[in-house]
Structure 1
Amino acid sequence: MFEVEHVTCLSTSPLRVWTAVSDLAGFVRWHPFIRLSGVASAGSAIGYTFNTTFLRKPLTAPATITRFRKPAEIGWKTGMRGLLMLEEAYQIDAISSGTEIRHTTHCWGLVSILAARKMKGRILDSMKESDRALERYLRPGSPAARPLSRGDRRVAKRKAH
């Protein structure tokens, strides 16, 4: 069992960050690895797809919203019980210069015990990359911040299932 944490400070409002991380279907617009589907609410079942580079195909699993405190925290849990489970969460706090985002991933299960050292580094690297992508997405005037078209939403929904 282990936990990895990455903290990012952005010069944007906490509400804008909350809107991006709680819009599950919108993850396709900014997150480089994860596709989510469903409704963000406490205890809801959602779809979770992780695009891996090592398996060359996406891993899809059911997930559950485990943390939902609007507009300050959202998190979900997914995995294979006993083998590898993970809970990923975003905690959003207002600071004088904008917003502090505390992005955490908590892993447990047999695989997390056997491969903890290697997994920690890879998870931290992917969290840093996704947090940079979120920052680019939230930057004013970013082309990535455009609303999804109807066709893009259909594609994102299919990919997340």
Structure 2
Amino acid sequence: MFEVENIVQVDQPIGRVWDVLTAFAEFEQWHPYVWIEGRAAYGGVIRYGLKQLAGLPARRTVPARVLHFEPKRTLGWRLWVPRLLTVDEFYTLSGAGARTVVRHHVRCEGPISGLIRRPVSRKVKSLLERADAALATKLGDRVTERYRSSDRRSKRR
């Protein structure tokens, strides 16, 4: 298992950031790599689509389910390749007033996660940074503070 995280701060209140992240129908307009169809609700099945990326055909979809959902705090989904890999992508929000810290995580688990860690984690870091900058632009803002992206390898307990 490994996790890649990018952390940014934007000068927007949590409620505004939450509204943009839960408006799945609008993802394709601002997110450089992803489109989502469905409802932002715990347990909801969504269509998670990848725009043309890494040589994949445009509008490729993978099965996904919303499994991280705590209003105005956590939103995310799980993608999977049966018996090989699960990928959780999620956002956690914190802050007060007009500033929000956005933690954007991608966690990979499964038999092949160890094999793909090195080639995938660097690419994912770059993708998260670009996606988070696009989120800030959608919010009518820019990233006001960028924290160091991290890549952590975790052992199962």
Contact 1:18 1:71 in 2 (8 A): yes
Higher strand share: 2
In structure 2, the partner of 1:91 is 92
In 2, the alpha carbon distance for the partners of 1:84 and 1:139 equals 36
In 1, the alpha carbon distance for the partners of 2:96 and 2:120 equals 31
Please tell me the residue identity of whatever aligns with 1:86.
V
In structure 2, the partner of 1:138 is 139
Contact 2:88 2:108 in 1 (8 A): yes
User: For 2:46, what is the secondary structure of its paired residue?
Assistant: strand
In 1, the alpha carbon distance for the partners of 2:30 and 2:36 equals 12
Contact 1:81 1:109 in 2 (8 A): no
CA RMSD, 1 decimal? 1.4
TM-score w.r.t. structure 1 length? Answer: 0.81
Give aligned-pair identity as a percent: 29
Contact 2:31 2:131 in 1 (8 A): yes
Contact 2:33 2:53 in 1 (8 A): no
In structure 2, the partner of 1:40 is 40
In 1, the alpha carbon distance for the partners of 2:46 and 2:35 equals 10
Residues 48-82 of structure 1, C-alpha deviations (whole Å, 9 max, x = no match)? 11124322414311210001111111010012022
Q: How do 1:7-156 residues align onto structure 2 when only pairs under 5 Å count?
A: 7-58=7-58, 59-95=60-96, 98-139=99-140
Q: How many residues align?
A: 140
In 1, the alpha carbon distance for the partners of 2:29 and 2:3 equals 26
Please tell me the residue identity of whatever aligns with 1:88.
E
Query: Structure 1 stretches of 5 or more lacking a match?
Result: 141-161
> Which structure 1 residue ranges, 4+ long, deviate > 4 Å from structure 2?
none
